[in-house]
Amino acid sequence: MAVFSEEFSNGIPFMDNSAKRFITELNKLSDAMKNGEGRQYVIFALDFLKDFCETQLAFENKVMLQYYFYDNPNHIKMHEEFRESVIDIIKRYDEFGADHGMPLNVQRMMSSWLARHIGKQDKVLGDYIRVKLTKKEKA
Ligand SMILES: [Fe+2]
């Protein structure tokens, strides 16, 4: 089970709250899989991911632009690639339903995003925004 901790926190409330929700949704999928209900449940995880891309990642993109984040293009590209992989799986679900491997694929995709993006790239962005906010307070 994934747990929200320092590892996934960057001190920016809208991002920390989103990371917590992401972990909760990943754990719900993992629990369903443990109970042998992964194929029935996976659509709920996909619904969450679609909304996550459309609201959270889109908002993060706006914030990055607003603060002139130096790694903007690269970070936005990572969001876009994630969104595309979510859309691909949803298309597959709509066409063929959930096959045996789909819950595990989605679980892996979420775990990897949590470790590699939320736990790393978003921390870099969080550090940058925090510095900007501190400078603003001093000015
Ligand atoms: Fe991000």
Ligand 1 center from residue 99 Cα (angstroms): 29
Within a domain: residue 64?
yes
Ligand 1 center from residue 78 Cα (angstroms): 7
Which CATH number fits the domain that encloses residue 23? 1.20.120.50
- The answer to whether 29 and 38 have CB atoms below 8 angstroms apart is yes
What's the rounded Cα separation, in Å, for the pair 115 and 137? 31
Considering only CA atoms, give the Rg of the chain. 16
- For 46-100, what is each residue's pLDDT tens digit? 999 999 999 999 999 999 999 999 999 999 999 999 999 999 999 999 999 999 9
Residue 118 CB burial class (10 angstroms; 0-12, 13-18, ≥19)? buried
Ligand 1 center from residue 76 Cα (angstroms): 7
Ligand 1 center from residue 96 Cα (angstroms): 30
The CA dihedral of 66, 74, 14, 27, to the nearest 10 degrees, is 170
Within a domain: residue 58?
yes
Whether pLDDT at 112 is above 80: yes
pLDDT at 139 (0 to 100): 67
Whether pLDDT at 108 is above 80: yes
* Domain with 65 in it: 6-138
Question: Residues 5-26: what's their mean pLDDT?
Answer: 96
The overall pTM is greater than 0.85: yes
Band (pLDDT 50/70/90 cuts) for residue 137 is: confident
- The answer to whether 10 and 125 have CB atoms below 8 angstroms apart is yes
Ligand 1 center from residue 19 Cα (angstroms): 10
Ligand 1 center from residue 75 Cα (angstroms): 6
The pLDDT mean for the chain works out to 96
Within a domain: residue 100?
yes
Q: Which residues contact 87 (CB under 8 A, 6 or more apart)?
A: 50
Number of domains in the chain: 1
Angle at the Cα of 88 (from 86 to 93), degrees rounded to 5? Answer: 95
Ligand 1 center from residue 26 Cα (angstroms): 17
Within a domain: residue 1?
no
Ligand 1 center from residue 35 Cα (angstroms): 31
